[in-house]
Every structure is written in structure tokens, then in C-alpha cells.
């Protein structure tokens, strides 16, 4: 069994981006500028957004955090989105999800200019992804693709089972693994909460990608011997022994599943750090106007 070290791969990618930004500075080019919009004070969202802003600073990007109060109206948020679309100083931006329930998240996502949509959630970008055209690939699936590439894991002709059909992870992941490219060329089964006999499906997987958000849901008997297991899940479970008061758990029961795998990602330190590196990569693409 080989442990996939997402932290190390993410650091390497960030180092490459940092060098690229240093070069841009040297040639007096403007450096990429990412904005992040955060509404309200959800603890996990605050952590995610501040990690993204910090990562920008580390590689030399400019970053702007726009922190708005929980009670902001949908119209006010749409006006903020419009202002970011029109601001030539901003290359790309994200609106951190989830949004408060009085705001229609779809309406906000669809209002983001596709050219600045570094999360890759806009229908134009999802359509491009489905057609295999260059676009902003959502950060978590892009991070997973980069991990598979880094470890030179073979994918052609393999059976890949994705658990979860969300628009930010499972669905784009299934498109990427089935495309005619490397990594890709898999036969993909996309499973979800209505899938009958999930374990029967997962046991057939050469590559299993779990993104359902249920801690330690995947047990050893659900995994084929020698499978590659990518654990996307992150759930905070209360733990009084920790300073933070919680512990992070993946969707895979790591201790019992790991011995069966050829490769496995840990939680934390697997997919999570890659998501941020992928967002930086998308911001660089946005600044270079190559998408």
C-alpha cells in the first residue's frame, strides 16, 4: 500500500506557481489577483476562505477577501458579483458556499462571469468540461486528477466508481475519469444515495472515489484488493481531547481499508490540500487568459 501525500504534491505545485509569479514580477507583469466572497460567519467556511487567501499570499498572488454579513440580501450580493465581474483588477473570484438559505446559490453562481469563475461551477464551464474543452475544472476534482498524474497511476481501461453526484465533486469527477485523456479513459460508474447495492458496485472498482460526506462509511469489505482509493470526504466530529474541539474524518474507514489498497489518500493530508493548489492553478489560468 502506498500513501498518497497530497500535502507534499500540493506544496510542489504551489512552489511551481510561486516561481511563475516571481518571473511575472521580474518582467513587470501584473500578478494574478483572486477575490473571495464570504457571507456570514460559518466556522468551516471561515477556515476554508482564510486558507485560500493565505495560500494566495504564499505564492505571491494578490488576494482580496470580501466578508459580508449574514443578513445581506440576494440583490446586494448580486450587485457585489456584478462589481467583481466588471473589475479589471480581479482575474478570478469565488463565492464561498454554502450561502445563507435566503439567498439562491444557483442565481449567484450563474451570475459569475465564466471568465472569472475559477471554481468552475458556472454552466458554461460545466458544459465545456463535459465537451472536453479547456476550462476551469472545479478545484477538488482537478486536485484529484493532479494526484493521479503525480503518482502515475494507470487509469486507461480501469473501472472507476465515484460515490456522490454533487456538482462540485462527484459529477465533474465522473466526467474527468471518463474523458479520452490521461488521467481518464476509465469505465465510470457514478453512484449516489439512490444506488441499489452500493457495496456490489464499489467492490468492482479499480479506482474508488468517495465523496459522500459520511464519516468512515467505506469499510474494508466494500473495497477490492489492490484498489486505488481516493477519499474526498471531510467531516468534523467533536473531540474534546483536541485543542480545536474536533477531529477530521474521511468517508473511508482508513485503518481497515488501507491494507487492501494499492494507493490511498489520508484525511487530512490527501485531497484537501490539493483543492487549494488547484484553485491557485485556475487563478493563474484566469490571469493568463488561457481559458
Just list the catalytic residues.
52, 96, 119
Q: Shortest gap between Cβ of 187 and ligand NAD (angstroms)?
A: 19
Using CB under 6 A as the criterion, which residues of the chain lie in contact with ligand NAD when the complex forms? 140, 163-166, 168-170, 191-193, 195, 198, 211-214, 232-235, 271-272, 275
Query: Residue 184 or 272: which CB sits closer to ligand NAD?
Result: 272
Q: Residue 112: CA atoms inside 13 Å, Cβ hemisphere, count?
A: 27
Helix, strand, coil fractions of the chain, as percent rounded to 5? 40, 20, 40
Query: Residue 192 or 204: which CB sits closer to ligand NAD?
Result: 192
Q: Shortest gap between Cβ of 289 and ligand NAD (angstroms)?
A: 26
* DSSP secondary structure of 29-95: PPPPEEEEEEES--HHHHHHHHHHHHHHHHHT-EEEEEEE-TT--HHHHHHHHHHHHH-TT--EEEE
Query: Residue 62 or 165: which CB sits closer to ligand NAD?
Result: 165
Rounded to whole angstroms, the Cα distance separating 146 from 139 reads 10
Helix (H) or strand (E) holding 236: strand 235-238
Q: Shortest gap between Cβ of 217 and ligand NAD (angstroms)?
A: 7
Q: Shortest gap between Cβ of 35 and ligand NAD (angstroms)?
A: 20
Query: Residue 92 or 273: which CB sits closer to ligand NAD?
Result: 273
Amino acid at each position: 500500500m502506498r500513501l498518497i501525500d497530497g500535502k507534499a504534491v500540493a506544496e510542489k505545485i504551489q512552489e511551481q506557481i510561486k516561481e511563475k509569479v516571481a518571473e511575472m514580477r521580474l518582467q513587470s507583469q501584473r500578478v494574478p489577483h483572486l477575490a473571495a466572497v464570504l457571507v456570514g460567519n460559518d466556522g468551516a467556511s471561515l477556515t476554508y476562505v482564510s486558507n485560500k487567501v493565505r495560500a494566495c499570499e504564499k505564492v505571491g498572488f494578490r488576494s482580496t477577501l470580501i466578508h459580508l454579513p449574514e443578513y445581506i440580501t440576494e440583490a446586494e450580493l448580486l450587485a457585489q458579483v456584478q462589481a467583481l465581474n466588471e473589475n479589471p483588477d480581479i482575474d478570478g473570484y469565488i463565492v464561498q458556499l454554502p450561502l445563507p438559505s435566503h439567498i439562491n446559490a444557483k442565481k449567484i453562481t450563474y451570475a459569475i462571469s465564466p471568465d472569472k469563475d475559477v471554481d468552475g461551477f458556472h454552466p458554461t464551464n460545466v458544459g465545456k468540461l463535459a465537451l472536453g474543452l479547456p476550462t476551469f475544472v472545479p478545484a477538488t476534482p482537478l486536485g484529484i486528477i493532479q494526484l493521479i498524474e503525480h503518482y502515475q497511476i494507470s487509469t486507461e481501461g480501469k473501472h472507476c466508481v465515484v460515490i456522490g453526484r454533487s456538482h462540485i465533486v462527484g459529477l465533474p469527477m465522473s466526467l474527468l475519469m471518463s474523458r479520452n485523456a490521461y488521467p481518464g479513459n476509465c469505465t465510470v460508474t457514478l453512484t449516489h444515495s439512490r444506488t441499489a447495492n452500493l457495496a456490489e458496485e464499489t467492490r468492482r472498482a479499480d479506482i474508488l472515489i468517495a465523496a459522500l460526506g459520511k464519516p468512515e462509511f467505506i469499510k474494508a469489505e466494500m473495497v477490492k484488493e489492490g484498489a486505488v482509493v481516493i477519499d474526498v470526504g471531510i467531516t468534523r466530529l467533536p473531540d474534546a481531547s483536541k485543542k480545536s474541539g474536533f477531529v477530521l474524518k474521511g468517508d473511508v474507514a482508513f485503518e481497515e481499508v488501507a491494507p487492501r489498497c494499492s494507493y490511498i489518500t489520508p484525511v487530512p493530508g490527501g485531497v484537501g490540500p490539493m483543492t487549494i493548489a488547484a484553485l491557485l492553478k485556475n487563478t493563474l489560468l484566469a490571469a493568463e487568459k488561457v481559458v
